[in-house]
Amino acid sequence: MSLHRLTSLAIGVPDVDATAAYYRDFGLADLGGHRYGTVDGGEQLRLAPAERRRLLELGVGVHDQDDLGRIGAQLDKLGVAYRTDATSLTVEDPHSALTVVVAIAPEVRQEPAPVAATNGPGRVGRPDARADGIGRTGPVRPRKLGHVVLGSLDQEATQRFFTEGLGFKVSDRVPGLASFLRCSTDHHNVLVQQAPLNFLHHTAWEVEDVDEVGRGATAMLEADPERHVWGLGRHHIGSNFFWYLKDPAGNFSEYYSDLDCVVEDALWQPEVVEGAKGLYNWGPPPPPSFLAPEDLAALMTGSHSAD
């Protein structure tokens, strides 16, 4: 696959300072100029002023100019206009009004996280010692940006833009709702769902394990309980542990760990998943506000504001 990761995203919000404080609390490194970074991915988030919350730009990494040329040829077949320079290709999906910047970028290099010793029935892997996770005291720091979930007025057309135009691959499908798309070995990097308007549903950030998911969310909720959306739980599609929180603009952000990885495409069999498993395997049921964010009506009428 010529694509290899999500590099970054830019989000427009009515109150940049309040949203910036949220993402600092979330564990992203403040790089100055309303830019924020992860441990392994470097700069991966930029905030900018906007009248309403929206995804301004999504970055995708490729290896070289040949990759840019192939993507350009694919977009030509779809009749989608784009512009290029020596290191990037910029294109707007005509169906979701999303700007995507495909750029030559290094792959993410991640040092393996230590494997925590565990105990289980008939298996003592951690004799005479407390669990590693309960002794951690430092702040949770996301390792990388993992995926983005978008609402589109035309889910099928936007999916074709990502698959036939940019080269994303389908990992699994939920009929009539969404497909999980990947541009890396991660199970999914983009999910496009049918929606009454084009909007950003959530961003997802990888942490080391389920203890970091829980510790990160606990710290965020101690600072402001109103940030809670949904969790702790485990998804069926992708298998990852999750906890969702909400930034001041209304965007959801997810701590996740233990996501499925597709290393050999030939060995992965995409599934069609229906019913509740399209959302989760276990955990509390999703609240109505997760399925239909409370500000959608205001976004549709253009009346959403920082208030």
Q: For residue 130, is it within any domain?
A: no
> What is the domain extent for residue 15?
3-108+140-303
Q: What does the DSSP 8-state code read for residue 186?
A: B
Joined together, the tokens standing for residue 63 give 């290896």
Task: Quote the crossing angle between the two packed helices 16-26 and 210-223, to the nearest 10°.
Answer: 140
Closest by CA position to 140, among listed 58, 33, 221, 229: 221
Q: Percentage of the chain with pLDDT > 90? A: 85
Residue 130 has pLDDT above 60, yes or no: yes
Q: For residue 253, is it within any domain?
A: yes
Q: How confident is the model at residue 124 (pLDDT cuts 50, 70, 90)?
A: very high
Q: For residue 247, is it within any domain?
A: yes
- Determine the average pLDDT of the residues in 247-268: 96
Residue 303 has pLDDT above 60, yes or no: no
What pLDDT digit, counting tens, does each position of 267-296 carry? 999 999 999 999 999 999 999 999 889 888
The predicted structure's pLDDT at residue 215: 98
Q: At a CB cut-off of 8 Å and minimum separation 6, what does 4 contact?
A: 61, 62, 63, 105, 107, 183, 184
Q: Which residue has the higher pLDDT, 96 or 183?
A: 183
Instruction: Count how many domains the chain has.
Output: 1
Q: For residue 128, is it within any domain?
A: no
Q: For residue 103, is it within any domain?
A: yes
CATH number, domain of 164, equals 3.10.180.10
- Determine the average pLDDT of the residues in 125-147: 95
Q: For residue 117, is it within any domain?
A: no
Q: For residue 298, is it within any domain?
A: yes
Q: How confident is the model at residue 304 (pLDDT cuts 50, 70, 90)?
A: very low
The predicted structure's pLDDT at residue 305: 42
The predicted structure's pLDDT at residue 39: 97
The predicted structure's pLDDT at residue 1: 66
The C-alpha atoms of residue 219 and residue 87 are separated, in whole angstroms, by: 40
Q: For residue 58, is it within any domain?
A: yes
Q: At a CB cut-off of 8 Å and minimum separation 6, what does 233 contact?
A: 241, 242, 243, 280, 281, 282, 283, 284
Q: Percentage of the chain with pLDDT > 70? A: 98
Across 87-91, 143-147, 176-180, 220-224, least confident range: 176-180
For 265, other C-beta atoms within 10 Å of its C-beta total 11
Q: At a CB cut-off of 8 Å and minimum separation 6, what does 141 contact?
A: 27, 29, 38, 39, 207
What pLDDT digit, counting tens, does each position of 156-178 carry? 999 999 999 999 999 999 988 88
Average pLDDT over the chain, rounded to whole? Answer: 94
What pLDDT digit, counting tens, does each position of 183-223 carry? 999 999 999 988 888 899 999 999 999 999 999 999 999 99
Q: Which residue has the higher pLDDT, 39 or 296?
A: 39
In this prediction the pTM is: 0.95
